[in-house]
Structure 1
Amino acid sequence: MTRTKRVSPGGTVFGAWQRGAAAWLSGLALIVAATGNLAAEPDVSRGPRLVLRQEDHDFGKLETDGGGQHAFVFTNAGDQPLKLERGKETCGCCTCVCETKLPDGGAIGPNESAAVTLSWTIKRFTGAYHQSSTILTNDPRRPEVMLAVVGRIVPVVRALPGQFVFSSPLVGATAWSEVRVYGYRSPPLKITDCRLSDPASAAFFETAISPLSAEEVAQEPDAVNGFLLRVTLKPGLPLGPFRQDVVLATDVESKPKLEISIQGQIAHPVSVAGPGWDSRAGVLKFPPVAGQAGAQRNLLLLVRGPHCQATTFRLVRVAPKCLAVELGPTKASPDGQSARTPLIVRIPAGSPPGTCPGLPAGEAGQIVIGTSHPQQPQLRLLVSFTVKE
């Protein structure tokens, strides 16, 4: 009996054919997959295409209250319109105004160019300048472009500091303050006149002008020349605030006049300082006080001037009686120009409830201190407090 020999699928003839077919199908699948991936990617040869060769502009130096503009050229190298929109701008504050102007219609045709113009106006600003404007596009490669304008703003004429400040000169004393006036363009600045604006108090002020040295001018960037202007305050102004203006005439056509204010306050030689003290109202204020706990304020009596170390104090009157007031030992400053005396004001624990108890309704407490100072023989401090039950 003859037996039939079977050939398995993995045999020589059929197996080889099966393996070849599988390899061919696998390669075909890879080709189809690769073709599908390529079809999913955008066609980079079509659509709008932005070409921009400059994104920032340095205008160098510009004088305050001046302005300028610059055109950035946008080119569309694509085959469809390039659309532009304004985005965020970093300027628009009170010291500068920056505007962005797009092409008419906000679009650039294929193979065409157009300008996006940035213009700026500077007001009351000096120093390094940097402003930017964002432009939004429909080019998927560059959906956003930031244009920048940079430079340095310099004044024509400027006073540094901007005013004369007298820090509480004493009554009857002499004091002075200085300002430097710089010119920033050629030919050098000339000051042709100097006067005081208020004739009523002009007799108490004296002005003097002198040119700055080359070394002093070099300390101010961009300055060409400058002057030192000193104002001396003479004795005689009454206690309280004072104000005056120095008016300078210059040879600069765009800045023919420069006004510099003088401010200060004539002060008593003896003053009070410390927590809770309101110097404008002359009142020592306590927050609500718990009767069983009490409260305390630590103040200082400050004396300035030639009589500071010889001035002594004594308590003349304290009201209401529940207030406890104590003067400490006087200590002079190391330079001998001032002295301080501690003043301790207490509301003792167990004080009766009420607002300034012991006084008529609506009347504040009071501390009267006598001094040996020839210009200020007495101090009067009001005290405001409420004791809770």
Structure 2
Amino acid sequence: MKPIAVIGAIITIGLALFVVSKLTAPTNALNEVAVEPPPPPVETPTETETKLEEGGEEKPEGTPEEKPAEDVSYQSNPFDLKKPGPYPKAVLVQERFEFGSMALGATKSHPFVVKNEGDAPLKLEKGPLQCKCTMPALKDKEIPPGGQAEIVLEWKPLAVQAGFEKEATIWTNDPANPRLSLQIFGDVVSDDFWEPVDGFSLDQLKQGEARTVTGFIGSRTRDDLKIERVDQVNNLLKIEYTPADEAKLKEKEAKVGYNFTLTLPPSEEISLVRETVTVTVNSATNTQIIWPVTGNRIGPVSIIGPGWYAEKQLVQLGHFRAAKGTEKKFTMLLTDRGEKPLEITDVKVDGPIQVALERDEKWPVKTNERYFLTVKFIPNSPIGVHNTDNAIPVTITTNHPKVPTISFNVSYDAD
């Protein structure tokens, strides 16, 4: 036998013996471990499946969310007016409506009736608007032939305005009347009004003279106006008020109102009259009414010269260096001669101001006396600006029975 054949026979016999031994050998349970197959993968439901389980409908990816319909208005007519007939016929029963007097902040509305007297449905769309416009009970913004609908205009004014006008444009598909113009107009007034508006001027008063002025506070839009309190800063005035009678209310075209009487008592003091009266009323828009009261009480003294303003009882020193100071000299004429020459006995001033008075011994006129009044800013005083609104008050006390005090203000700009 050839060697190669012998080797092949040996290999064949060995493989056969190995297979037989495996088939006949007992199972060793301690040495063998059973391997369980891996569990099947858990499937997570997709977002679409979850929505379907909850009762939702599957939407294709990228579908936009639905939005509520917008209240659209058009700058030009959106309808095709060249279509062949039949045509609608738009008839606006009323084009303008007057609200009359409106209270500030109040809201008023008015319905305008539109009829369709044509043979086809009348379609409507909003155009340019100057106020709120609604079309209630108008399905699909369409009026059938022979039908009618209301268009409501609403206006809430936010400022007092005399003679306001607001317009709303409604486009139609009526070729003969493609644009409807709805207009509202009226006046916007405050809940309350008062006279005078800018306060009271007492003008010039002589020494010992009293002055009385009258005013009015009322309302054209409400009947519950009440005066809650009346205040004044300097307590110079006697103030009284009473409900207005029917004749006065008719004159003022008011539903309710009050007559005011302001009286300045007599006084010998020569000075400006400055008072501020504040009336508080039960109104949401104007809770306080402020009346300035001004006047000028004159006596036997008159002051003349550049820098003196009699209507304001004001001395203007102008602009200057605080370190150097400045002064102005005025002529003061006294028409009522006293037993003694006029002298200053006291000066009250809250600021760096000095006042001096000197008699002109050479004055030739016998009907009056001439004095020189000097108003001086003290050199090296603190810099400051005092204009008309915050001028420094000065009160001079004298020895003259007819001129017990002289009051004025001083303004300057010292740097």
TM-score normalised to structure 2 length: 0.43
Larger Rg: 2
